Structure 1
Amino acid sequence: MPSAFQYRPKFKDIRVRPPSEQEDKTAEDVHALKPGERACDHPGCRRAASARAPKSRQMLNEHYWFCQPHAAEYNRNWNFFAGMTEAQVRQHQQDELFTGGRPTWEMKASNASREAAAFAAKFGKGEGYRDPFNMFGADAGGARPPPPEPQGRQLGKIERNALAELDLDQDAESAQIRARYTELVRRLHPDANGGDRAGEGRLQKVIKAYQSLRKAGMV
């Protein structure tokens, strides 16, 4: 075969070069921490920490830092109610339900506080409270004042105008209203005036006023 057509390999030695000693150390340390990362708190773990977990029930603000697999293992084995009795567990759950587990205080001042002393001083002087019957004043135990007199009838504008149309006071009773209405109808009706229709307009106003009073329940 002519030499022009003979196979000549491009590389005479294609073996891979063995890694150097420094490269071997880098390859082995695949979990080497990068700048700014912290190591996992699990003993013997050299991975970077990416999750945190509370140290105990009493130290919820202090945490361990774990890698993801060790954080999952810690959470599976951690029991928040460890060491608590059933009564303590129920009490804790009740506190969480009503107050979110936060401490509470009574919303009142003690008997020795300045607020209590100021209230006692005002109470002794009759200040800071209403005593319409003088039960706590100087005349305590004596005769009570007479009750206030009842106010007059509360009427609306329509009822007041209707009574005025009938020439009646605002305290007129139903019998007075009926008697006054009957009197005005007899006096203003055309049949009572010989067919004179001069009082027909006033008669219509009287009838309308009486109907308004009846609608208001005053008749």
Structure 2
Amino acid sequence: MASDGPAPKRSPRFHGRVENNGRLCDADGCFGDGEFRAPNIDGKRPGFDGPGDWRWYCLDHIRAFNGGYNFFAGMTTDQIEAAQRPLAGWERETRAFSATPAGTPKWADFVDPLDAIGAKFAARMPRARADGRPLSDADRRALKALELDVDSDRRTLRARYAELVRLYHPDRNGGDRSHERALQAVITAYTHLKGAPAFA
């Protein structure tokens, strides 16, 4: 009986076969299709930084490679036993994320790798105000110029402004005008912040 629709797509006969894109087998003197991937023992090994280098073989040569491949070659007995444990690799210390004032999160600090990835990006996010009022980038730059915390209120803002004006103003420094640039930065920052929604 004839089928009305197209024939179902056949799965590859051999597990691990990758559709050939014109690659030739990497075995010396072989011109077969390189359809099977194998780790490049002489190149970069797979690890934390990526999958490493690969070589491509035809079916006959991948069988020969697999027959002679030994993952544990060159390891001591202790290293082999450590690699065979169910959680091998998770408890060792790895490269840290960028440093943050609260400390440096490490992969070993987390049970779930997705939590570790989330912590990496959360550490880079600017801290929000406790009262939920929004702060723009300009607000944050002005707070930094006044050396104020993001949770400062309007009263703290005024007190800090008065303190810095007294510190930098020439009339309070015997006519010394060397702090004029710092004084102007303080005035500009205060003028901006007193009109910002976070300090309304």
Q: Taking structure 1 as the reference length, what is the TM-score of the superposition?
A: 0.30
Bigger Cα Rg: 1
The structure, 1 or 2, with the larger RCO (C-alpha pairs under 8 Å, 6+ apart) is 2
**TM-score, length-scaled by structure 2:** 0.33
